[in-house]
Amino acid sequence: MIPELGSFSLILALCLSVILGTLPLVGAQTKNLLWMNLARPLAAGVFVFTGIALAILAYAFVVDDFSVQFVAQHSNSLLPTRYKLTAVWGGHEGSFLVWTFMLTAWTLAVGVYSKSMPLSFVSRVLGVLGLLTAAYILFMLGTSNPFDRVIPLPPADGADLNSALQDIGFIVHPPTLYMGYVGFSVVFAFAIAALLSGRLDAAWARWSRPWANVAWAILTIGIALGSWWAYYELGWGGWWAWDPVENPPLITWLFGTALVHSLAVTEKRGVFKSWTVLLAILAFAGSLLGTFITRSGLLTSVHAFASDPTRGVFILAILGFFIGGALLLYALRAPLMKSDVGFGLLSREIFLLANNVILVVAAASIFLGTLFPMVYQALTDDLISIGPPYFNAIFVPLMIILVVFLGVGPLSRWKRTSQAYLVQQLSKVAVASVVLGVVIPLLIMLQISIAATVAVMLASWIVLSIGKDVANRTANKSDRLSGLRGLTYSYYGMQLAHFGIAVMLIGVALTSYFAMEKSVLLAPGQSTELGEYSFTLNGSSDIRGPNFVGDRAEIVVLNNGEPVATLYPERRVYLASGTPSTEMAIDAGFLRDLFITLGEQKESGSWSMTLYIKPFVRWIWLGAIFMAFGGTLAAADKRYRRLRQRRSVSAEQQQSVTAGTQVTPVS
């Protein structure tokens, strides 16, 4: 009976979201105050009923209601409760419910934190989000209802959650990723609302910016968590595989990054409006593409859910309707988006444009590499795959160019910057970066490596230009501290995020070029050397968990005779499904990770295993944390909260405001 209440709750949410997707939109067009005022309560209603449905599904998992098919397929009575709860997103149906719930939560948040915006605008935003929610719930009820029963004979026990998913990474990665993904629907809805109202001005950009920043920050964390999880769970020591399902979040992230920068130009200078709107649509399209790829069964991948063609067609229809409709509206409204404000060939606008072009090109080439095998198969019926070398060959040079611009952009000024000024500002920074790039790797490794030199050079370039910019901005103050206090949150946010790029860059480059690995067969008591470490297998013992049995090996790691760590890699077999699973053992460190995966035991009692040394691997995720923190800080800037007094500042007035605060004095 209770699962039926879940279905019923979803149907109610559908009805409410259909009303939310129509009346407020019509009301905004016809200036019907009553209908517009419906938007916020309806958004709350949709949120509550979707939330009830989600809670009921979670309840069905906790009480082991295996008459519900989704529960029977993804849980087991032996499964620990935390995994029963999170098994809600362990398969297609439940994860889509979580996805939809996230959307309703974002919608409610917009309803609550939009007091400063005109009612007609808010009703349009909520209306668009309501339409999207309605489409998602319809999809769920039509093709993948998580509350479907197994009739007439429910199984005595469930099939268990995929063993690779029984892990902390699975508890945190999917919800964060979904939250970030879905956040771009909000920015999309803002863009559509602006197109509908015909008011594409600096105010619209200012309203969108905090939402775009937060969505971007959460998506950054979501992707980083996925990378971290893949690193320690999948057992081959990689942190990014250019897997067709990893790529859509990255594509969305790249569009989102471009969008965050383009919104800055639109807010401050009133230009790039049409481009910004297009990016908002593209970022949203990227998130729908991700859904489509994982849920249609088009691709073989770690993430793919079992395939069902009708689902693919349905998602394609949603994608076509929303993206097609958005682009049509975009084309109709294009004349509105002209701007008369000019800027010089050497100006901050141009550097941000370069940033956007590079990010969009990177996103487009990843998109091409991801979809090319599918298109190729459809045309020729031959199966091919595009490997990591393609993606690296494209992505690495583009990011190097991007980082070069990244050093210049923040130091340049809006409208016009003289070449002499940039040279004067950056020549020392450039020289220092080159020197550091050559010297640091040489001192540490006592050898010349082009990869390490380039990486350190680029990272120094970022960090030193940040230092230079901060120094400039505090130079005219009585003392540095009050100068630092005078800088805005959004400024700190930007520099923190850029610093995160430098940290990540070091991590990516050094891990990629200097990682070591070795597969060996060790008998108890036997040792092997890798790098400066020696690994000794002490022995192995039997272990037993709540829903698995297995073996655990004990390996002592020494560095020049000094003990460094004792590692316990495991090999488990999950009882319900009989699936084997390796549990890595990692000794994490700021400068390097030691990492062991256990293979199998031979008849002689010796174990096969792979040993890895991963220098600076933590810096990849540390960089992402800096970036996400920067994005959040920028969204918390005071000026987004001061809007109540100044409802509609036009682009022109806005410029006079920015002219006073943004131009840096020459030091």
**Positions in the binding site for other proteins (CB under 8 A):** 162-164, 235, 299-304, 306-307, 342, 344-345, 350, 353, 357-358, 361, 364-365, 368-369, 372, 382-387, 389-390, 393-394, 397-398, 519-521, 577, 579-582, 597, 599-600, 602-604, 608-610
How many residues appear in the chain? 667
Residue 239, phi then psi, degrees to nearest 5? -120, -5
352: number of Cβ within 10 Å: 23
Shortest Å distance, C-beta 137 to other proteins = 26
Q: What token pair was written down for 89?
A: 């997103």
Shortest Å distance, C-beta 269 to other proteins = 15
Q: 519 pairs with which residues across the strands?
A: 610
49: number of Cβ within 10 Å: 22
Shortest Å distance, C-beta 99 to other proteins = 20
Give the separation between CA 570 and CA 589, rounded to whole angstroms: 21
Q: How far is CA 292 from CA 36, 189, 318, 325, 661, in A?
A: 33, 20, 10, 18, 44
Positive or negative, the Cα torsion across 384, 389, 391, 393? negative
Q: How far is CA 430 from CA 44, 188, 373, 420, 601, in A?
A: 53, 39, 42, 15, 54
Give the separation between CA 127 and CA 111, rounded to whole angstroms: 11
Q: Which is nearer to other proteins, 373 or 631 (CB)?
A: 373
Shortest Å distance, C-beta 579 to other proteins = 7
Shortest Å distance, C-beta 369 to other proteins = 7
Shortest Å distance, C-beta 132 to other proteins = 29
Q: Which is nearer to other proteins, 32 or 301 (CB)?
A: 301
Shortest Å distance, C-beta 82 to other proteins = 21
Give per-residue burial for 264-275: e unless 16+ CB within 10 Å, then b. bbbbbbbbbbbb
Shortest Å distance, C-beta 158 to other proteins = 14
Q: Which is nearer to other proteins, 361 or 487 (CB)?
A: 361
Shortest Å distance, C-beta 271 to other proteins = 11
Q: Which is nearer to other proteins, 29 or 577 (CB)?
A: 577
Positive or negative, the Cα torsion across 386, 390, 392, 398? negative
Query: Could you write out the three-class secondary structure of 140-198?
Result: HHHHCCCCCECCCCCCCCCCCCCHHHCCHHHHHHHHHHHHHHHHHHHHHHHHHHHHHHC
Shortest Å distance, C-beta 582 to other proteins = 6
Listed in sequence order, the residues at least 6 apart from 355 whose beta carbon sits closer than 8 Å to its beta carbon are: 258, 261, 402, 405, 406, 409
DSSP 645: T
Q: Which is nearer to other proteins, 67 or 162 (CB)?
A: 162
Q: Which is nearer to other proteins, 364 or 649 (CB)?
A: 364
Shortest Å distance, C-beta 516 to other proteins = 15
Shortest Å distance, C-beta 221 to other proteins = 24
At 459 the three-state DSSP class reads helix
Give the separation between CA 602 and CA 553, rounded to whole angstroms: 13
Q: Which is nearer to other proteins, 375 or 445 (CB)?
A: 375
Which of 17, 5, 6 lies closest to 45 in space, CA to CA? 17
**Does an H or E element contain 517, and which?**
strand 516-522
Q: Which is nearer to other proteins, 351 or 499 (CB)?
A: 351
Listed in sequence order, the residues at least 6 apart from 142 whose beta carbon sits closer than 8 Å to its beta carbon are: 314
481: number of Cβ within 10 Å: 10
Listing DSSP states for 44-84 in one string gives HHHHHHHHHHHHHHHHHHHTT-TTBHHHHHH--TTS-HHHH
Q: Which is nearer to other proteins, 579 or 658 (CB)?
A: 579
The owner of tokens 């999170």 is 86
Q: Which is nearer to other proteins, 529 or 532 (CB)?
A: 529
Q: Which is nearer to other proteins, 23 or 277 (CB)?
A: 277
Give the separation between CA 182 and CA 219, rounded to whole angstroms: 9
Q: Which is nearer to other proteins, 182 or 522 (CB)?
A: 522
Q: 645 pairs with which residues across the strands?
A: none
Shortest Å distance, C-beta 306 to other proteins = 5
Q: Which is nearer to other proteins, 22 or 339 (CB)?
A: 339
Q: Which is nearer to other proteins, 520 or 634 (CB)?
A: 520
Give the amino acid at 459: A
Shortest Å distance, C-beta 299 to other proteins = 8
